[in-house]
Amino acid sequence: MTDPLSADLDRLEQIVHALERDDLDLDGALALFEEGIGRLRAAKERLAEAEAKVERVLTDAAGVLKLTRFDA
């Protein structure tokens, strides 16, 4: 299970490194910048997710798992 946030942050690191090196033409730099902005927005949205979801596992008589909301 690859985490989308980690993927976004990894890619952002790459983009920033590429932009900080000297061997890019301006068009390439602009394209990378645009991609970077998109990834930044996605990362910030994930950071803003507010409420933690807490569940509790129960098994019924047949051994089937059930999840219920849990208020700690």
Partner 1 sequence: MKRRRVAPNDLFGEVPAASSGADSTRAAFSVSELAGALKELAEGALGQVWVKGELTGFKAYETGHWYFTLRDEGAQLRCVMWRTYAERLRVPPPEGTEVYLLGTPTVWAPRGELRLSAVTVLPTSGVGVQQLAFERTRELLERDGLFDPARKRALPAFPRGLAVVTSSDGAVIHDIVTVARRRWPATRVVIVPARVQGGDAIETLVEALEMVDRLTDIDLCIVARGGGAKDDLLAFNAEAVCRALARVRVPTISAIGHETDVTLADLIADVRAPTPSAAAELALPDRAQVARHVASLANRLAGGLRRRIDWQTERVDRIADRARHAMTGRLQRQSHRFERLATALDALNPLAVLARGYSVAQTDEGKVVTRRSQLPPGTPFTLRVADGAIQARSE
Footprint of partner 1 (CB under 8 A):
1, 3, 5-6, 9, 12-13, 15-16, 18-20, 22, 24, 26, 29-30, 33, 36-37, 40, 43-44, 46-47, 49-57, 59, 65, 67, 70, 72
Least Å distance, CB 69 to partner 1, is 11
d(CA 70, CA 24): 52
Least Å distance, CB 18 to partner 1, is 8
- Inter-CA distances, 48 with 4, 29, 54, Å: 14, 28, 18
Choose among 55, 17, 65, 31: nearest CA to 9: 17
